[in-house]
Amino acid sequence: MDKRKIWVVCDAFDHVDSFTGQLISKAYQLSKESNGSVQAVFIGNASDDELKRCALYGADEVVYQQCETKDEKVWLDILSDIYSSIGADIIMFTNTDFSKTLSSLFASRFEVGLTADCIDICFEEENGFVFERAAMSDSVQARIICINSQCCTCTVKKNAFVETEINAQKELNIRKWEYTGSFIADPAYEIINSVKRVCENNTDLDNAKIVFGVGRGVKDGETFDMICQAGKKYNAVVVGTKCVVDDGLLPKKLQVGQSGCSIAPDLYIAFGISGANQHLVGIRNSRQIIAVNNNENAPIFNIADVKIVADVKEFMKEFAE
Amino acid sequence: MIKIVVCLKMVPGKLINAEAGGLIINPYDLFVLEKLAELKKSSDISVIGICMGGESARDGLIRSKALVCDDIYWLNDIKFAQADTIATTKTLTAAIKKYIPDADAVICGGHAIDGETGQVPAELSEKLGITYFSSVADIESFGNDSAVIVRRDERQEMTVRCRYPFLLSVDSFLTYASNLNVIALKRAQKWEYKIISAEELGIASTDCGASGSKTKVINSVNIIYKKESIEIGGSIKEKADHVKKLLQQ
């Protein structure tokens, strides 16, 4: 039997970024479980040396198409061309805005199954590739397979997988694709005005060692300010649950959970977080979790190492001292 | 007159308010309806709602009608149930092509708060073969051959004029409809909602619902493992001191 083709679509345009590294690392692991080979599909503008970095994480081949523009429609046509020619059994995309659009367009064009924001993927003889993501209104993870579908596609959450360099020296084949279609993006719009957004928050959440989480139990601005002050003091990044972000207390990029980001700090302190599954999937890789909540039965305590039953406001008054 | 199709999804109300029962209009779709209600006062637009859902969607449809919709297509058939994004896209595409083939714009909420995949808008644009605009924060105006919208991502905010036909995926949301008035609501209750079956739509049952889906949930597991936690007792001060000590390590 031919080897299963496991694709990773690289979307960093001119380099192999850490997110792509995470995907190739997972693809490599899946290739061992499923008797597959890992193909990194790289569209953009990168040197051979940069492309070779895909081998560090376990890619067998890079399919490279030189392209000067980063436009979803142009990439879709290129990707379709490659797919129609060599085929794939599973295609992994990052879940950046760009790749979410690209993967949706692709899945729709070929009518193949697409699972959004996976937090895990495994291979089982019986089921084939199985994708896991949080079931929204439930306290469990849904395990999803593709049916009646030529190939399986998915977008993957950042930090769901660990970027791992393999020990073995791998022979990497770089296959230069020669796409003959158009590289011109459809000019169906004109820009009237464009304003750069000032980044209010330059926090490096991916590398944060200490993270403070704020949940609905933080009911007033005063308590929230005390947590932010303490965050500064201990060099901790302050993040929030979905409802806190929806309420506008914190920007979307500091939302942790299934619909936000996943984190893996050394220490996570959850203030007034009840522990909905939506949030827990985002913090489950934290090395140590301390939870402060006034409800002693809050689900957050199930995964906490240290349990503190206390009113968050009262606790913060002492803690901020 | 500019013809605008709005895709509507009804989601469990308890996701917004723990005590609420039943289904409500997805907050991202509600933003679109409110925006169109405002724009309708000053521009020549007609708004057509399209919704795939069972009887429990009725209340949300009445509100949509009262807010702004001139017409509503209610795709209500058990055959549509359990659709994944591909089957949903095919069903919506069939309906738009059959009933509103001359739509100038199709507008979707960026994602539904129950599924959270956000895949349908782009998938739908591909099937309809129209230009796709994601990350839309606001809609400013509808002109004769183009509309002005605001797109926003982390890096920039762009005001863009886009030519019809197009599909927008809108990332702003609302949980409360301020343009809803009681008289309109009463009128909307009496309106006759057209229910469209799979047969009437002319879609094969293998193209919609569970049988048209390309993904399937096989089971659910708990991957959050319970830990043995240590409870810190004592006074609030003792508890706070304990955490301070852990932070200093």
pLDDT, tens digit, 9 for 90 and up, residues B207-238: 999 999 999 999 888 767 778 889 999 999 99
Establish if B214 touches chain A: CB-CB under 8 angstroms.
yes
Mean pLDDT, to the nearest integer, of A73-81? 97
At the fourth CATH level, the homologous superfamily of domain A4-176 is HUPs (3.40.50.620)
Mean pLDDT, to the nearest integer, of A108-122? 96
Whole-number pLDDT of residue A123: 97
- In this predicted model, which residue has the larger pLDDT, A133 or B67? B67
Whole-number pLDDT of residue A170: 79
Closest by Cβ to A305, choosing from B158, B227, B244? B227
Cβ contacts of A97 on chain B, cutoff 8 Å: 134-135, 153
Cβ contacts of A317 on chain B, cutoff 8 Å: 236
Establish if A209 touches chain B: CB-CB under 8 angstroms.
no
Whole-number pLDDT of residue A259: 79
Say yes or no for a CB contact (<8 Å) between A101 and B132: yes
Express each pLDDT in B71-97 by its tens digit: 999 999 999 999 999 999 999 999 999
Express each pLDDT in A5-29 by its tens digit: 999 999 999 999 999 999 999 999 9
Mean pLDDT, to the nearest integer, of A75-80? 98
Cβ contacts of B237 on chain A, cutoff 8 Å: 318
Is there a shared CATH topology between the A4-176 domain and the A210-319 domain? yes
Whole-number pLDDT of residue A198: 67
Mean pLDDT, to the nearest integer, of B122-146? 97
Establish if A144 touches chain B: CB-CB under 8 angstroms.
yes
Whole-number pLDDT of residue A136: 61
Mean pLDDT, to the nearest integer, of A173-186? 93
Cβ contacts of B123 on chain A, cutoff 8 Å: 104-105, 107-108
Which residues 60-89 of B have a C-beta within 8 angstroms of A? 84-86, 89
Which ipTM did the prediction report? 0.91
Which residues 11-40 of B have a C-beta within 8 angstroms of A? 12, 14-15
Cβ contacts of B12 on chain A, cutoff 8 Å: 137
Say yes or no for a CB contact (<8 Å) between B160 and A308: no
- Say how far apart CA B244 and CA B230 lie, in whole Å: 16
Closest by Cβ to A310, choosing from B14, B113, B239? B239
Whole-number pLDDT of residue A1: 61
Whole-number pLDDT of residue A139: 60
Closest chain A residue to the Cα of B230, Cα to Cα: A306
State what percent of residues in chain A have pLDDT above 90. Answer: 73
Say yes or no for a CB contact (<8 Å) between B221 and A113: no
Closest by Cβ to A137, choosing from B114, B133, B223? B114
Residue A5 has phi, psi (to 5 degrees) of -95, 115
- In this predicted model, which residue has the larger pLDDT, B175 or B195? B195
Please check the confidence at residue B186 and state whether its pLDDT lies above 80.
yes
Whole-number pLDDT of residue A74: 96
pLDDT band at residue B240 under the 50/70/90 scheme: very high
Which residues 94-123 of A have a C-beta within 8 angstroms of B? 97, 100-101, 103-105, 107-109, 111-117, 119-120
For chain A, what are the domain ranges?
Answer: 4-176, 210-319
Topology of domain A210-319 in CATH is Rossmann fold (3.40.50)
Please, what CATH class does the domain formed by B2-212 belong to? Answer: alpha beta
Whole-number pLDDT of residue A110: 98
Mean pLDDT, to the nearest integer, of A119-147? 87
Please check the confidence at residue A200 and state whether its pLDDT lies above 70.
no
Give, in order, the Cα–Cα distances in Å from A122 to each of A6, A87, A145, B185. Answer: 12, 20, 10, 50
- In this predicted model, which residue has the larger pLDDT, A304 or A219? A304
Whole-number pLDDT of residue A201: 55
Establish if B1 touches chain A: CB-CB under 8 angstroms.
no
CB A80, CB A102: distance < 8 Å: no
Say yes or no for a CB contact (<8 Å) between A141 and B220: yes
Cβ contacts of A190 on chain B, cutoff 8 Å: 160-161
Whole-number pLDDT of residue B183: 95
Please check the confidence at residue B154 and state whether its pLDDT lies above 80.
no
Establish if B119 touches chain A: CB-CB under 8 angstroms.
yes
**Helix (H), strand (E), coil (C) string for chain A:** CCCEEEEEEECCCCCCCHHHHHHHHHHHHHHHHHCEEEEEEEEECCCHHHHHHHHHCCCCEEEEEECCCCCHHHHHHHHHHHHHHHCCCEEEEECCHHHHHHHHHHHHHHCCEEEEEECEEEEECCCEEEEEEECCCCCCEEEEEECCCCCEEEEECCCCCCCCCCCCCCCCEEEECCCCCCCCCCCCEEEEEEEECCCCCCCCCCCCCEEEEECCCCCCHHHHHHHHHHHHHCCCEEEECHHHHHCCCCCHHHEECCCCECCCCCEEEEECCCCCHHHHHHHCCCCEEEEEECCCCCHHHHCCCEEEECCHHHHHHHHCC
For chain B, what are the domain ranges?
Answer: 2-212
Whole-number pLDDT of residue B4: 98
Instruction: State the count of interchain CB pairs (< 8 A) between A and B.
Output: 216
Say yes or no for a CB contact (<8 Å) between A315 and B114: no
Establish if B190 touches chain A: CB-CB under 8 angstroms.
no
Establish if B207 touches chain A: CB-CB under 8 angstroms.
no
The helix (run of H) or strand (run of E) holding residue B60 is: helix B58-67
Which residues 19-78 of A have a C-beta within 8 angstroms of B? 72, 76
